[in-house]
Chains A and B, each alone.
Chain A
């Protein structure tokens, strides 16, 4: 069975400060991990993914995420938050056993305070 947990419904951070949005996962095989961002009245936009290789993945808009196999985590990070980063962030997982659907977490609302 596959599942994703995003333990924080809401994260607030001051503009210019580093941000972290947490994600842990559970899969049967090896994980394929994704972060998506959702702005109001818009679809999900892809930020970055981990498939294999380097545990630190860099993505769009200065975001990065670190894959930690022992902690089954894939936290999203950014060194310096912008007000425009305020949005809903979703972590998602698929495994490598052939399942096609992507399992999403419940989302974390990030608010960057000017």
Chain B
């Protein structure tokens, strides 16, 4: 597609529910990133995929967070047993190359509110 697409744009969950957030990166982009942006803060790194391989998950805040990209394109971020502190905007980004100099293209984000 022309850009990075994320769904749903807004999600309200009751505490304890599981949620799944989807990211469709730009077609052909090798690298895919997930970031968490809390209100009034900058994006914080969660995890990184190169094709289908999850090369870095050091930013995932707990074992309730899980991400996958099974076919090297679409990615899903799953949060189990959501807590209020999980409320944030979850941003997905992709880039064409593995180079650190490459620009990330971001989606509009999925805003999660946990009640």
Binding site for B on A (CB under 8 A): 4, 32, 34, 36, 41-46, 49, 51, 90, 94-96, 98-107
Choose one: B45, B48, B108; the contact of A103 (CB below 8 Å).
Answer: B45
The closest CB in chain B to the CB of A44 belongs to: B106
Q: How far is the CA of A4 from the CA of B41 in the complex (A)?
A: 13
B91–A49 touching, CB < 8 Å:
no
Q: Is B100 an interface residue (CB 8 A)?
A: yes
The closest CB in chain A to the CB of B101 belongs to: A51
Q: How far is the CA of A36 from the CA of B106 in the complex (A)?
A: 10
A46–B100 touching, CB < 8 Å:
no
Q: Which chain B residues in 69-99 approach chain A with CB under 8 Å?
A: 91, 93, 98
A101–B33 touching, CB < 8 Å:
yes
Output the least CB separation between A100 and chain B (Å): 5
- B-side interface size class: 20 to 34
B107–A96 touching, CB < 8 Å:
no
Residues of A within 8 A of B18 (CB): none
Choose one: A34, A51, A101; the contact of B45 (CB below 8 Å).
Answer: A101
Output the least CB separation between B71 and chain A (Å): 20
Residues of B within 8 A of A106 (CB): 40-42
Q: How far is the CA of A21 from the CA of B55 in the complex (A)?
A: 33
Apart from A95-B100, A100-B31, A102-B33: 11 A-B pairs, beta carbons within 8 A: A43-B109, A44-B91, A44-B106, A46-B105, A49-B103, A90-B43, A100-B56, A100-B100, A101-B33, A104-B44, A107-B42
A104–B103 touching, CB < 8 Å:
no
Residues of B within 8 A of A51 (CB): 101
The closest CB in chain B to the CB of A100 belongs to: B48
Q: How far is the CA of A101 from the CA of B43 in the complex (A)?
A: 11
Residues of A within 8 A of B50 (CB): 100
The answer to whether residues A94 and B103 also contact, given A44-B43, A101-B56 and a CB cut-off of 8 A, is no
